[in-house]
Structure 1
Amino acid sequence: MEEHSHENDFHLIEQDGGYDTVGSIATNVADGFTMVAVGDLILSRPLTKYQHPGFDGIIKILRDADVTFGNLETNIFDIRSFRGSPQAEYGGAYLVSLPEIGPDLKAMGFNLMSRANNHTLDWGPEGMRETSQVLNQNGIIHAGAGENLAQAGAARFLETVRGRVALVSLASSFTPMSRAGDPAGEAPGRPGLYALRLTESIVVPPTMLENLRQVRDSLPNPSPDYKDLNRLGLAGVSFKSGDKAGYSFEADPRDVADILRNIRRGKQFSDFCIATNHAHEPGNWSHEPADYEQSFARRMIDAGADAYVGHGPHLLRGIEIYKGRPIFYSLGNFIYDQLRTPVGADMFEIYGKDPRVDTDAEVTVEEEAKGYPRAEGFVNALSAPVYYESIITVSRFEQNQLAELRLYPIELGYLKRFANRGVPRLAPAPQAQAILERLQKLSEPFGTEIAIDNNVGVIRLPPSSPR
């Protein structure tokens, strides 16, 4: 059985000398279908039980959609009965939420969530499994984590009145030991997340590359591991020549092929397919996506995805409309509730705190102020106001085309006390205007025009938009 594609409209399978259509990649939803998509949910406690100012307005937007999507960047379990442990390798902080989060997310309106991110295995496979159980018990469809690679990468499906929605969740930013694996012979599969592996290179001007080559060649027993004169390796780091200094990433072709297949399979069994990627690259400091991501996102659309939703760097990145489908390069934070406990002994140690003297909150404040730790020191701080500003996106489809995209600016209480920060509300007029103007500039390189109407961003597409 050999697979073919024809004009990128549908996939055909050769059978007995003829062809049968097995799955159109066109959108196939009823008129008025709406998708709400937001970014990272980092929360430790239920929020709907309290009267957070402005939060009711947020919930109304979430509940009014056919599908409401967010990235669940935490584990959910009761520490009093938990049988796992915080892992030596974790995503920069130990994220954990109370079991009451399950019904709370459902009450907010969420019915679809991604699980593949750098915190998926903060608490080991046990934490991953308990989180899955809580989501399952509350009827929230989730993808991106499983008992092996096939389960983690499989599309999961949400039934709505206007169409069946598929979700494929992956992460290019993840801890190495959290990557799921398939069984091989007698070796069992490995639980974990659906990963897109990237090869990172540091880009330097040609003259600097030549200086680095001289450094390498002066070392005892040098190993010229790159024959290409425009690339070299030094001390385990890959360098390549470019116009200006920066970072470059190449996606693993084996992972890309597997992801494309899962997108294709997901669309063949659904009316609407969402591809979502947790991608910090090139870093939480960057308002621009990594150089691999535009091509990768477009390939997801070409394979059958109706939307590509990026998240990870905790701040907004631009929006592109490709073949009439939305590409969100990062939707920033939606809930950024840092009131978490316990944080794990490793975090006390790395931030110079003593669990017999200092509190979990004091460790968390230190982590937010300095940023996630790496071997070479601390990277960007996560406490700047920009990490507390984001948007809610509402995509509306008519005649199986994206007709309108509305962008609601939100702010997450940056100026509030620590225990009350991180809960979203619609941003007041001056702040909303500033958020949308920033998003306009970030989206310009992608050819996207965002109008501002009464403090709401609007992208309108004519019915004849190319598909």
Structure 2
Amino acid sequence: MRPSVPLTRRAALTGAALTALPGCVRDETDASVSCPPSVPTDESLRIGFVGDVMLGRSVDERWRADPDGPTAVWGSMFDRLQSLDGLVANLECCISDRGEPRPGRTYHFRASPDWAVSALDRAGVSCAGLANNHLLDFGPEALIETPSHLRGEEIAAVGAGESRENAFEPAFVEIGGLSVAVVAVTDQSPSYAAGRDSPGTAYAPLDPNHPLTRRRVGGALAAARDADPDLLVVTAHWGPNWVTEPTETRRKFAHWLVDHGVDVVHGHSAHVIQGIEVYRGRPIMYDTGNFVDDYAIKDGYRNDRSFLFELRIEDGTLVALELTPVENAYTQVGRADEGVAEWLRATLRERSRAFETTIERDGDGLRVPLTCDE
């Protein structure tokens, strides 16, 4: 087995220094080099990643008046979530009691702050990605309130804001003594895109050849790298619904992100799990599916089945991505039974085959070793 990837401190260097630094990556936009980050710890850390967390509509109706709702919504996964050192989630709704449904939309997702913020806090969410196609469902007032409510419980919010500059600002959180930078972006619902002076999401085409992507996303990555974080994460709400493999453009964009210093690519939007790729020793989760919601189960897609994805760091090294099978039982998530777990293991293996990803059995779940190409 190839060695797992040791992380070394990022630095901005001129092109002449490239050959002296194995693993460094040239930034073609400014001819600089970005090295992978260091993780200054000798401890074992686990950082979780989940797909869509939609706490609105029927989820909100079921749990908002229940005193146990903020805990019960996580079902049998609650203790596992609490055991993590940190958790990154895509929040697929606004959190507000204000605003009106946006005209022309089929679905409107909103959760009451009275319980939803506590639910995220109890699950141990460190950072909520807001760059998706539902944050503006109840207008700019509800969008602006959402990150404010989250930050009130010390949950970082990223990917939406009062202006384009705010929306593309990275979030910085401390997880287990590590400084983690998170950038959230989306290519969904361009009408929800933040403007120069108007609220919205961090929208870009998410095509590495598109100048808008290179300018907006490249600028957000540069701002994150300037803070010299120990770990850089991009959470991306990308691509169409109900597809089981990423497009070639999504794959090129994911590689572009890693080549520009990103350590973890956390994808979601399709409502179904897609494969995992390990590129330059960095995990790319093309789609992490749904985690908790009230969505109908679409024939043939099993959008009620997914994983809790855990990044394991040992002695300052990205060692593995570990997957725990879960099933969403309409407004409540729980650990999958053996039959569902078997289906998930087989499906994830099949959808990762094109990437030649090494996948190992790990109890009722899976383990993806993170190995370098050197």
Q: Deviations over 1:11-37 (max 9, x none)?
A: 89xxxxxxxx99743243424232100
Note the C-alpha offset of 1:170: 0.5
**Residue 187 of structure 2, aligned match among 172, 176, 184:** 172
Using the size of structure 1 for normalisation, the TM-score is 0.68
Contact between 2:87 and 2:125, CA under 8 Å: does it hold in 1? Answer: yes
RMSD over aligned CA atoms reads: 2.7
**Residue 106 of structure 1, aligned match among 111, 114, 121:** 121
Please give the alpha-carbon distance, in whole angstroms, between the structure 2 residues aligned to 1:291 and 1:10: 21
**Residue 150 of structure 1, aligned match among 147, 152, 165:** 165
1:466: which partner in 2?
373
**Match status 1:275 vs 2:268:** no
Please give the alpha-carbon distance, in whole angstroms, between the structure 2 residues aligned to 1:30 and 1:181: 40
1:284: which partner in 2?
241
Query: 1:46-61 alignment to 2 at 5 Å?
Result: 46=63, 49-50=68-69, 55=74, 57-61=76-80
Please give the alpha-carbon distance, in whole angstroms, between the structure 2 residues aligned to 1:292 and 1:22: 24
Contact between 2:73 and 2:331, CA under 8 Å: does it hold in 1? Answer: no
**Residue 402 of structure 1, aligned match among 318, 321, 331:** 318
Identify the range of structure 1 (439-448 vs 189-198) with the bigger mean alpha-carbon deviation: 189-198
Note the C-alpha offset of 1:455: 1.1
**Residue 425 of structure 1, aligned match among 334, 341, 351:** 334
1:88: which partner in 2?
103
**Match status 1:330 vs 2:293:** no
Please give the alpha-carbon distance, in whole angstroms, between the structure 2 residues aligned to 1:329 and 1:271: 23
1:297: which partner in 2?
254
**Match status 1:122 vs 2:141:** no
Note the C-alpha offset of 1:278: 0.3
Q: Where does structure 1 lack aligned partners over 5 or more consecutive residues?
A: 13-20, 183-188, 199-248, 339-367, 369-380, 414-420
Contact between 1:66 and 1:162, CA under 8 Å: does it hold in 2? Answer: no
**Match status 1:191 vs 2:187:** no
**Match status 1:255 vs 2:162:** no
Number of residue-to-residue matches in the alignment: 344
Q: 1:37 to 1:51 in 2, by over 3 A?
A: closer
Which amino acid is 1:71 matched to?
N
**Match status 1:71 vs 2:90:** yes
Please give the alpha-carbon distance, in whole angstroms, between the structure 1 residues aligned to 2:319 and 2:144: 39
Please give the alpha-carbon distance, in whole angstroms, between the structure 2 residues aligned to 1:400 and 1:42: 33
2:305: which partner in 1?
389
2:7: which partner in 1?
none
Note the C-alpha offset of 1:135: 0.6
Relative contact order (alpha carbons < 8 A, sep ≥ 6): 1 or 2 greater?
A: 2
Contact between 2:293 and 2:331, CA under 8 Å: does it hold in 1? Answer: yes
**Residue 344 of structure 2, aligned match among 432, 435, 440:** 435
Q: 1:455 to 1:161 in 2, by over 3 A?
A: closer
Query: 1:341-360 alignment to 2 at 5 Å?
Result: none
Identify the range of structure 1 (302-311 vs 159-168) with the bigger mean alpha-carbon deviation: 159-168
Q: 1:317 to 1:27 in 2, by over 3 A?
A: farther
Note the C-alpha offset of 1:261: 2.8
Contact between 2:26 and 2:260, CA under 8 Å: does it hold in 1? Answer: no
Using the size of structure 2 for normalisation, the TM-score is 0.84
**Residue 175 of structure 2, aligned match among 157, 160, 165:** 160
Q: Deviations over 1:322-349 (max 9, x none)?
A: 11111000000000135xxxxxxxxxxx
Which amino acid is 2:306 matched to?
S
Contact between 2:92 and 2:130, CA under 8 Å: does it hold in 1? Answer: yes
Contact between 2:96 and 2:112, CA under 8 Å: does it hold in 1? Answer: yes
Secondary structure in 1 matching 2:248: coil
Which amino acid is 1:25 matched to?
P
1:25: which partner in 2?
36
Identify the range of structure 1 (397-406 vs 268-277) with the bigger mean alpha-carbon deviation: 397-406
Identity %: 27
Please give the alpha-carbon distance, in whole angstroms, between the structure 2 residues aligned to 1:307 and 1:35: 11
**Match status 1:131 vs 2:146:** yes
**Residue 411 of structure 1, aligned match among 327, 331, 344:** 327
